[in-house]
Chain A
Amino acid sequence: MNEDKVLMEIERKIMGGDFQSAGDVSSELKKVLQQVGFPPSFNRRVVIAAYEAEMNVVIHAYRGVFTTKIYEDRVHIEVNDQGPGIPDLELAFQEGYSTAPPHIREMGFGAGYGLSNMRRCSDKLEIDTRVGEGTKVIMDFFLNSDK
């Protein structure tokens, strides 16, 4: 990876089950991206993926840390949680697959689209997960990609 300059770095905690402030980290990120002056279509895909990663911690994990590094021409996001982990990643990526319980589904979550939204919106997606320990989601977004 080239050693380009980090314009801004944001690190925020996310609490599992905290639906009250769920989405706040992604909202803050959206504002920061707008201030930096990236094009709206780029910001939109970063924010969709960020929101899905944030919500997966709120819904499925116990707690997590959300880190964003903003460079001149790319955005790097890491979401590291302590939680149950994902036993079968391939299955988890299938659209419509969700382990969200009924009371979570009633709120409109648990469609099973989160991970595929992340894959579609990011230029690079890496997931490192350990059952019983937690999950790390790493995403990169390049300004000059054709997405």
Chain B
Amino acid sequence: MKVSQIVEPLKAEIVVGEKIEEQDIEGGYCGDLLSDCIANAKEGSVWVTIQSHPNTVAVAVLVGMPCIVVTNYQEVGEETVQRAQKEGITILRTSLTSYQAVSILSSLGIPGTKRRG
């Protein structure tokens, strides 16, 4: 599934997303603790979180996650936007809660994934 296909179902605003037509999503991860996400999220996942700090972009890059879905309509600051643009990470923003967002992604057939080992 492409990142572009989850925008509408999530009723999301595209904060950064020049590559949504090309970016593939193979699974999903949900969490707000960066140490948890970096250790457990799998490459190619969409990441659902309430965090919108610039360092979430660093975590997405390190794990290899193409897209961050920021829930609860959290503010996404300019620093985060610039960093995401530079790294080619998509940021979607929705007023849904993380649970609601995950439910929708799951109904679209995106499985929850976890890094092995």
Contact = CB atoms under 8 A, between A and B. Distances in A.
Interface of B is mostly: helix
Interface in B55-72: 55-56, 58-59, 61-62
Contact of A109 (B34, B54, B115, B117): B34
A47 B38 CA distance: 9
Given A19-B53, A20-B79, A40-B43, A26 B36 contact: no
Given A20-B79, A108-B51, A47 B33 contact: no
B62 A147 contact: no
A27 interface: yes
Contacts of A128: none
Given A20-B54, A41-B117, A107-B51, A113 B62 contact: no
A19 B55 contact: yes
Contacts of A44: 43, 115
A45 to B, nearest CB: 8
Interface string B59-94: 101100000000000000001000000010000000
B32 interface: yes
A113 B43 contact: no
Interface string A93-134: 000000000000001110111100100110000000000000
Question: Which 4 pairs between the two chains have the least Cβ-Cβ distance?
Answer: A23-B58, A113-B35, A111-B33, A108-B34
Contacts of A107: 34, 51, 53, 55
B36 to A, nearest CB: 6
Given A108-B34, A108-B51, A147-B117, 14 more contacts: A20-B54, A23-B61, A26-B58, A41-B117, A44-B43, A47-B62, A48-B62, A55-B34, A107-B34, A109-B55, A112-B35, A113-B33, A113-B35, A117-B38
